[in-house]
Structure 1
Amino acid sequence: MVRTRGAECGRLDSSRRTAVWISTTSGRRFIVRVKTRTAGTWQAQKSDEDLTLDDTGSRFWAFVDLAGAEPAVFILHSTEVAAGIRKATDDWVAHDRRRDRTGHHAIELSRVAHGQSRWDLLGLRK
Protein backbone atom coordinates (compact mmCIF):
# COMPACT_ATOMS: atom_id res chain seq x y z
CA MET A 1 0.00 0.00 0.00
CA VAL A 2 2.88 2.37 0.76
CA ARG A 3 4.62 1.69 -2.54
CA THR A 4 1.42 2.27 -4.53
CA ARG A 5 1.42 5.76 -3.01
CA GLY A 6 4.89 6.54 -4.34
CA ALA A 7 7.07 5.89 -1.30
CA GLU A 8 9.73 3.32 -0.50
CA CYS A 9 9.48 1.10 2.55
CA GLY A 10 11.01 -1.92 4.21
CA ARG A 11 10.97 -3.97 7.37
CA LEU A 12 12.88 -2.49 10.31
CA ASP A 13 15.27 -5.23 11.40
CA SER A 14 16.78 -3.50 14.44
CA SER A 15 13.84 -4.23 16.77
CA ARG A 16 11.77 -7.18 17.90
CA ARG A 17 8.70 -5.02 17.30
CA THR A 18 6.95 -5.07 13.94
CA ALA A 19 7.86 -1.81 12.28
CA VAL A 20 8.68 -0.46 8.84
CA TRP A 21 10.75 2.45 7.60
CA ILE A 22 9.14 4.72 5.01
CA SER A 23 10.94 7.13 2.73
CA THR A 24 8.80 9.59 0.76
CA THR A 25 9.60 11.24 -2.56
CA SER A 26 10.04 14.55 -0.68
CA GLY A 27 12.87 13.00 1.34
CA ARG A 28 10.99 12.45 4.61
CA ARG A 29 11.99 9.24 6.36
CA PHE A 30 10.36 7.83 9.46
CA ILE A 31 9.41 4.65 11.27
CA VAL A 32 5.87 3.25 11.55
CA ARG A 33 4.90 0.51 14.00
CA VAL A 34 2.47 -1.95 12.46
CA LYS A 35 -0.28 -3.94 14.17
CA THR A 36 -2.54 -6.33 12.25
CA ARG A 37 -5.73 -8.15 13.13
CA THR A 38 -8.00 -10.64 11.41
CA ALA A 39 -10.66 -10.50 14.14
CA GLY A 40 -11.17 -9.00 17.59
CA THR A 41 -8.83 -6.27 18.78
CA TRP A 42 -5.27 -5.24 18.01
CA GLN A 43 -2.82 -6.24 20.74
CA ALA A 44 -0.22 -3.90 22.18
CA GLN A 45 1.61 -3.88 25.51
CA LYS A 46 0.72 -1.69 28.46
CA SER A 47 4.37 -0.56 28.37
CA ASP A 48 3.66 1.04 24.97
CA GLU A 49 2.32 3.98 26.98
CA ASP A 50 5.96 5.07 27.42
CA LEU A 51 7.53 6.26 24.16
CA THR A 52 11.02 6.13 25.68
CA LEU A 53 10.71 2.32 25.74
CA ASP A 54 10.04 2.13 21.99
CA ASP A 55 13.35 1.06 20.48
CA THR A 56 12.02 1.70 16.96
CA GLY A 57 11.76 5.47 17.39
CA SER A 58 8.41 5.33 15.60
CA ARG A 59 6.51 8.50 14.80
CA PHE A 60 3.34 6.70 13.73
CA TRP A 61 1.40 3.46 14.17
CA ALA A 62 -0.53 1.73 11.39
CA PHE A 63 -3.36 -0.55 12.46
CA VAL A 64 -4.10 -2.94 9.61
CA ASP A 65 -7.52 -4.59 9.60
CA LEU A 66 -7.60 -7.81 7.59
CA ALA A 67 -11.03 -8.88 8.87
CA GLY A 68 -13.06 -7.45 5.98
CA ALA A 69 -13.19 -8.18 2.28
CA GLU A 70 -10.65 -5.39 1.68
CA PRO A 71 -7.81 -4.47 4.05
CA ALA A 72 -8.24 -1.20 5.93
CA VAL A 73 -5.43 0.88 7.42
CA PHE A 74 -5.75 3.28 10.33
CA ILE A 75 -2.80 5.64 10.89
CA LEU A 76 -2.20 7.53 14.14
CA HIS A 77 0.68 9.49 15.68
CA SER A 78 2.71 7.49 18.18
CA THR A 79 2.06 10.12 20.84
CA GLU A 80 -1.70 9.65 20.46
CA VAL A 81 -1.43 5.86 20.70
CA ALA A 82 0.76 6.10 23.81
CA ALA A 83 -1.62 8.57 25.46
CA GLY A 84 -4.59 6.30 24.73
CA ILE A 85 -2.85 3.28 26.22
CA ARG A 86 -1.81 5.34 29.27
CA LYS A 87 -5.38 6.56 29.88
CA ALA A 88 -6.94 3.12 29.45
CA THR A 89 -4.31 1.57 31.72
CA ASP A 90 -4.83 4.30 34.34
CA ASP A 91 -8.56 3.54 34.32
CA TRP A 92 -7.95 -0.23 34.52
CA VAL A 93 -5.51 0.09 37.44
CA ALA A 94 -7.85 2.50 39.27
CA HIS A 95 -10.50 -0.24 39.51
CA ASP A 96 -8.18 -2.50 41.50
CA ARG A 97 -4.93 -1.17 42.98
CA ARG A 98 -3.46 -4.70 42.98
CA ARG A 99 -3.24 -4.52 39.18
CA ASP A 100 0.03 -3.45 37.59
CA ARG A 101 1.05 -1.83 34.33
CA THR A 102 2.35 -4.99 32.65
CA GLY A 103 0.94 -7.34 30.05
CA HIS A 104 -1.14 -7.07 26.93
CA HIS A 105 -3.37 -4.17 26.04
CA ALA A 106 -6.33 -4.52 23.65
CA ILE A 107 -6.97 -1.70 21.18
CA GLU A 108 -10.51 -1.60 19.82
CA LEU A 109 -11.51 -0.35 16.37
CA SER A 110 -13.46 2.51 17.95
CA ARG A 111 -10.20 3.94 19.34
CA VAL A 112 -8.46 4.11 15.95
CA ALA A 113 -11.37 4.56 13.50
CA HIS A 114 -10.68 8.29 13.07
CA GLY A 115 -7.31 7.37 11.54
CA GLN A 116 -8.76 5.39 8.63
CA SER A 117 -6.79 5.95 5.42
CA ARG A 118 -4.91 8.91 6.93
CA TRP A 119 -2.08 8.46 4.44
CA ASP A 120 -1.71 12.25 4.47
CA LEU A 121 -0.14 12.00 7.95
CA LEU A 122 2.70 10.14 6.26
CA GLY A 123 2.88 12.63 3.42
CA LEU A 124 1.37 10.12 1.00
CA ARG A 125 -1.58 10.41 -1.36
CA LYS A 126 -4.82 8.59 -0.60
Structure 2
Amino acid sequence: MSLPLQSTPGTPLAIAGTFASLAVFLSITAHIAARNVLGDVPVRNAFVVGPVPAAVSFLVATFARTNTPVLFLGLGLALALDGVAIHYLYDRTPRLSAYITLIHFVVSVILGTVLFGILAIIQSAPG
Protein backbone atom coordinates (compact mmCIF):
# COMPACT_ATOMS: atom_id res chain seq x y z
CA MET A 1 0.00 0.00 0.00
CA SER A 2 1.50 3.35 -0.97
CA LEU A 3 0.64 6.59 0.70
CA PRO A 4 -0.85 9.38 -1.45
CA LEU A 5 2.15 11.69 -0.91
CA GLN A 6 4.74 8.96 -1.39
CA SER A 7 6.92 9.26 -4.50
CA THR A 8 8.68 6.51 -6.41
CA PRO A 9 11.86 5.32 -4.59
CA GLY A 10 15.08 6.65 -6.11
CA THR A 11 13.54 9.68 -7.80
CA PRO A 12 15.04 13.11 -7.12
CA LEU A 13 11.89 14.04 -5.19
CA ALA A 14 12.22 10.99 -2.93
CA ILE A 15 15.91 11.69 -2.33
CA ALA A 16 15.29 15.38 -1.56
CA GLY A 17 12.40 14.49 0.74
CA THR A 18 14.49 11.95 2.62
CA PHE A 19 17.35 14.41 3.03
CA ALA A 20 14.99 17.16 4.18
CA SER A 21 13.31 14.81 6.68
CA LEU A 22 16.67 13.75 8.11
CA ALA A 23 17.88 17.37 8.27
CA VAL A 24 14.70 18.47 10.09
CA PHE A 25 14.95 15.51 12.49
CA LEU A 26 18.59 16.32 13.27
CA SER A 27 17.73 20.02 13.64
CA ILE A 28 15.05 19.20 16.20
CA THR A 29 17.37 16.93 18.16
CA ALA A 30 20.14 19.58 17.98
CA HIS A 31 17.75 22.14 19.46
CA ILE A 32 16.74 19.71 22.21
CA ALA A 33 20.42 19.09 23.02
CA ALA A 34 21.32 22.78 23.03
CA ARG A 35 18.34 23.68 25.22
CA ASN A 36 19.21 20.86 27.59
CA VAL A 37 22.75 22.17 28.08
CA LEU A 38 22.48 25.95 27.49
CA GLY A 39 18.92 26.79 28.41
CA ASP A 40 17.03 29.20 26.16
CA VAL A 41 18.69 29.28 22.71
CA PRO A 42 17.43 30.45 19.31
CA VAL A 43 15.92 27.67 17.21
CA ARG A 44 17.41 29.10 13.99
CA ASN A 45 20.86 27.86 15.03
CA ALA A 46 19.59 24.28 15.19
CA PHE A 47 18.26 24.52 11.63
CA VAL A 48 21.80 25.31 10.49
CA VAL A 49 23.34 22.50 12.56
CA GLY A 50 20.94 19.75 11.41
CA PRO A 51 21.77 19.65 7.68
CA VAL A 52 25.52 19.25 8.37
CA PRO A 53 25.45 15.66 9.70
CA ALA A 54 22.57 14.88 7.33
CA ALA A 55 24.75 15.78 4.33
CA VAL A 56 27.63 13.63 5.62
CA SER A 57 25.21 10.78 6.25
CA PHE A 58 23.87 11.00 2.70
CA LEU A 59 27.33 11.10 1.15
CA VAL A 60 28.55 8.12 3.16
CA ALA A 61 25.39 6.12 2.46
CA THR A 62 25.73 6.86 -1.25
CA PHE A 63 29.39 6.01 -1.71
CA ALA A 64 30.18 3.44 1.00
CA ARG A 65 27.26 1.03 1.16
CA THR A 66 29.12 -2.04 2.45
CA ASN A 67 32.50 -0.69 3.51
CA THR A 68 32.28 -0.79 7.32
CA PRO A 69 35.45 1.23 8.09
CA VAL A 70 34.21 4.02 5.82
CA LEU A 71 30.86 3.99 7.64
CA PHE A 72 32.64 4.51 10.97
CA LEU A 73 34.80 7.24 9.46
CA GLY A 74 31.62 8.87 8.17
CA LEU A 75 30.10 8.75 11.65
CA GLY A 76 33.24 10.34 13.08
CA LEU A 77 33.23 13.03 10.37
CA ALA A 78 29.54 13.76 10.98
CA LEU A 79 30.14 14.11 14.71
CA ALA A 80 33.21 16.31 14.16
CA LEU A 81 31.41 18.63 11.73
CA ASP A 82 28.40 18.69 14.03
CA GLY A 83 30.68 19.80 16.85
CA VAL A 84 32.30 22.48 14.69
CA ALA A 85 28.89 23.82 13.65
CA ILE A 86 27.71 23.85 17.27
CA HIS A 87 30.94 25.57 18.37
CA TYR A 88 30.61 28.41 15.86
CA LEU A 89 26.83 28.88 15.97
CA TYR A 90 26.47 28.85 19.75
CA ASP A 91 29.86 30.52 20.39
CA ARG A 92 30.90 28.20 23.23
CA THR A 93 34.18 26.67 24.35
CA PRO A 94 35.36 23.54 22.49
CA ARG A 95 34.74 21.43 25.60
CA LEU A 96 31.15 22.64 26.01
CA SER A 97 30.58 22.26 22.26
CA ALA A 98 31.80 18.65 22.47
CA TYR A 99 29.38 18.03 25.34
CA ILE A 100 26.46 19.48 23.37
CA THR A 101 27.50 17.31 20.40
CA LEU A 102 27.48 14.21 22.62
CA ILE A 103 24.03 15.10 23.93
CA HIS A 104 22.87 15.71 20.33
CA PHE A 105 24.11 12.24 19.35
CA VAL A 106 22.42 10.58 22.33
CA VAL A 107 19.11 12.39 21.82
CA SER A 108 19.16 11.53 18.09
CA VAL A 109 19.79 7.85 18.75
CA ILE A 110 17.14 7.60 21.47
CA LEU A 111 14.46 9.55 19.60
CA GLY A 112 15.27 7.76 16.33
CA THR A 113 15.00 4.37 18.02
CA VAL A 114 11.66 5.25 19.61
CA LEU A 115 10.22 6.61 16.34
CA PHE A 116 11.48 3.55 14.40
CA GLY A 117 9.87 1.27 17.00
CA ILE A 118 6.57 3.12 16.74
CA LEU A 119 6.63 2.84 12.93
CA ALA A 120 7.47 -0.87 13.15
CA ILE A 121 4.54 -1.46 15.51
CA ILE A 122 2.16 0.49 13.27
CA GLN A 123 3.28 -1.39 10.16
CA SER A 124 2.95 -4.77 11.83
CA ALA A 125 -0.61 -4.11 13.01
CA PRO A 126 -3.20 -6.39 11.46
CA GLY A 127 -4.98 -4.69 8.62
* TM-score normalized with structure 1 length: 0.28
Between Structure 1 and Structure 2, which shows a larger proportion of strand residues?
1
Larger gyration radius, structure 1 or structure 2: 2
* TM-score normalized with structure 2 length: 0.28
